[in-house]
């Protein structure tokens, strides 16, 4: 028998993206160079099909039409990021007037179309000059970020009421300092920890500046990619492996940004291996007093672990993998294009954890989505018939609905993403959008999922 899944009144239906991934215009109107522009210029071979960030989906020139299309697909909210290197080329100093014009126009256009703008301050795109100073390892860069944040609040805070300091702050740490998939492509756990700690400080400093301005009706949060960690079994060694993986991948940012302090177990672990960052009591005070007001959750896949099969190489690089092995669960369902497990229940487990252990903080799904290669295979009558994406969204929403029924404080669901966009090393290999983008002509075509999403939003739910 069909069941109706209705969501709370005023639920946010929309999508998310980032500046680097859709804007293009990488060298236009005075924009400075960020880490991706720099890396692509120097090592284009690291990028899929050698496609860089110069043009992407050309949102910089086509935003009015794109926002009109968002409205048509039922969006009442949309998360995008401001490019630090576009707004303040070089990361510090003079504000770029052309950038102010552009972001003002985007915000105004969204509001005109009854779409609430959610603005992320940092989505993986450090100005290269800031990275050359050591990025968030360097206290000066932490302060420059706070100045940049304050500039954004002052310029756009009269209209933007939903702010986000960082998107997935753990990703530049893992990618840039441990696992070779972000610039500066360093493998050094000590520096990874310092950069992560500096990021938490930068977020707290931005929140401190935000609070000073007392922007009416505005809230500031952070977006974390949370992955529930499941042990292979209830054996104490497997449980310990899962606890440590959870400390590194979830609690390292979740606890300081929501609770205002680091988990004691993580501090002890880092101390044991002589990897604590340089810190001061005044830092800890700053973190304690500047926690987030709400939380965005990006959910794509779970983490499954088991106890180590072999001792780590004592001369090798110290990484979180010293404490667990990945567990490949027999029968798991995979997205073969992205190599990620599809496990819808994970979204429910995250929300229950936030309800029970994090004061039931107001939260929303800020990203969830499915990347598929070669979607043109599914064109029929001129439209990509992406039933697999509809199914993916629906099954995750069923678990989200269950979490809400059980008292979780969930405010919305944003899909990754509105239209096909450029991915950091994968370029356009996997497509995620409700709308397809022809890279030669930049023509936008709504996919079947786009029409379905419109109905979902209009009905504030679905029947299945």
- Give the pLDDT of residue 242: 98
What is the model's pTM? 0.97
Return d(Cα 249, Cα 345) in angstroms, integer: 19
- Give the pLDDT of residue 325: 98
- Give the pLDDT of residue 287: 98
State pLDDT tens for residues 262-286.
Answer: 999 999 999 999 999 999 999 999 9
Contact, 119 vs 167, CB < 8 A?
no
- Give the pLDDT of residue 272: 96
Task: Give the domain extent around 101.
Answer: 4-463
Return d(Cα 462, Cα 464) in angstroms, integer: 7
Residue 118 parent element (H or E): strand 116-122
Contact, 152 vs 119, CB < 8 A?
yes
User: What percent of the chain shows pLDDT beyond 70?
Assistant: 100
- Give the pLDDT of residue 119: 98
Please, which pLDDT band fits residue 219 given cuts at 50, 70 and 90?
Answer: very high
- Give the pLDDT of residue 14: 98
Annotated catalytic residue 326: no
287, two tokens: 């973190």
463, two tokens: 């029947």
* pLDDT, average across residues 401-429: 96
138, two tokens: 């360097």
State pLDDT tens for residues 223-255.
Answer: 999 999 999 999 999 999 999 999 999 999 999
By C-alpha distance, which of 461, 435, 445, 335 is closest to 17? 435
CATH code, domain with 387: 3.20.20.80
* pLDDT, average across residues 60-86: 98
Please, which pLDDT band fits residue 1 given cuts at 50, 70 and 90?
Answer: confident
Marked catalytic residue, from 129, 137, 367, 375:
367
- Give the pLDDT of residue 302: 98
For the chain, what is the domain count?
Answer: 1
Mean pLDDT of the chain: 97
Cβ neighbour number for residue 68 with a 10 Å cutoff: 12
Return d(Cα 347, Cα 17) in angstroms, integer: 20
* pLDDT, average across residues 4-21: 98
Q: 């999508």: which residue's tokens?
A: 15
Q: 């946010």: which residue's tokens?
A: 12
Return d(Cα 206, Cα 208) in angstroms, integer: 5
CA angle 263-204-159, nearest 5°? 135
* pLDDT, average across residues 310-334: 95
């Amino acid at each position: 028998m069909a069941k109706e899944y209705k969501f709370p009144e005023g639920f946010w239906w929309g999508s998310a993206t980032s500046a680097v991934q859709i804007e293009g215009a990488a060298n236009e109107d005075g924009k400075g160079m960020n880490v991706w522009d720099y890396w692509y210029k120097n090592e284009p071979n690291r990028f899929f099909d050698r496609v860089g960030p110069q043009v992407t989906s050309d949102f910089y020139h086509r935003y009015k039409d794109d926002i009109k299309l968002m409205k048509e697909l039922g969006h009442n909210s949309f998360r995008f990021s401001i490019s630090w290197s576009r707004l303040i080329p070089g990361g510090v100093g003079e504000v770029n007037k052309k950038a102010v014009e552009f972001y003002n126009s985007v915000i105004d256009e969204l509001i005109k179309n009854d779409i609430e703008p959610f603005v992320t301050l940092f989505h993986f795109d450090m100005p290269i000059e800031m990275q050359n100073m050591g990025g968030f390892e360097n206290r000066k860069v932490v302060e420059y970020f706070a100045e940049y944040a304050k500039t954004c609040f002052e310029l756009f805070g009269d209209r933007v009421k939903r702010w986000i300091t960082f998107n997935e702050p753990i990703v530049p740490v893992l990618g840039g300092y441990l696992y070779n998939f972000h610039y500066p492509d360093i493998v050094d756990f000590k520096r990874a920890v310092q950069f992560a700690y500096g990021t938490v400080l930068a977020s707290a400093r931005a929140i401190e500046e935000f609070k000073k301005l007392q922007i009416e009706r505005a809230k500031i949060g952070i977006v974390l990619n949370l992955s529930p960690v499941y042990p292979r079994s209830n054996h104490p060694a497997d449980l310990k492996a899962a606890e440590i993986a959870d400390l590194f991948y979830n609690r390292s940012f979740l606890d300081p940004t929501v609770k205002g302090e680091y988990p004691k177990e993580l501090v002890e672990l880092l101390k044991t291996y002589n990897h604590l960052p340089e810190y001061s009591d005044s830092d800890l005070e700053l973190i304690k007093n500047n926690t987030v007001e709400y939380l965005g959750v990006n959910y794509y896949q779970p983490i499954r672990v088991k106890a180590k099969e072999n001792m780590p190489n004592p001369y090798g690089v110290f990484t979180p993998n010293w404490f667990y092995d990945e567990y490949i669960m027999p029968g798991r369902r995979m997205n073969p294009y992205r190599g990620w497990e599809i496990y819808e229940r994970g979204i429910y487990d995250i929300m229950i954890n936030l309800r029970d252990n994090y004061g039931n903080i107001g939260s929303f799904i800020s990203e969830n989505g499915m990347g598929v290669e070669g979607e043109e295979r599914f064109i029929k009558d001129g439209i990509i018939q992406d039933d697999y994406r509809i199914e993916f969204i629906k099954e995750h929403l069923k678990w989200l609905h269950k979490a809400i029924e059980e008292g979780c404080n969930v405010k919305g669901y944003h899909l990754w993403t509105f239209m096909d966009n450029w991915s950091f090393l994968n370029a356009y290999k996997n497509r995620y959008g409700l709308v397809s983008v022809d890279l030669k002509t930049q023509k936008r075509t709504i996919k079947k999922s786009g029409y379905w999403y419109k109905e979902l939003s209009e009905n504030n739910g679905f029947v299945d």
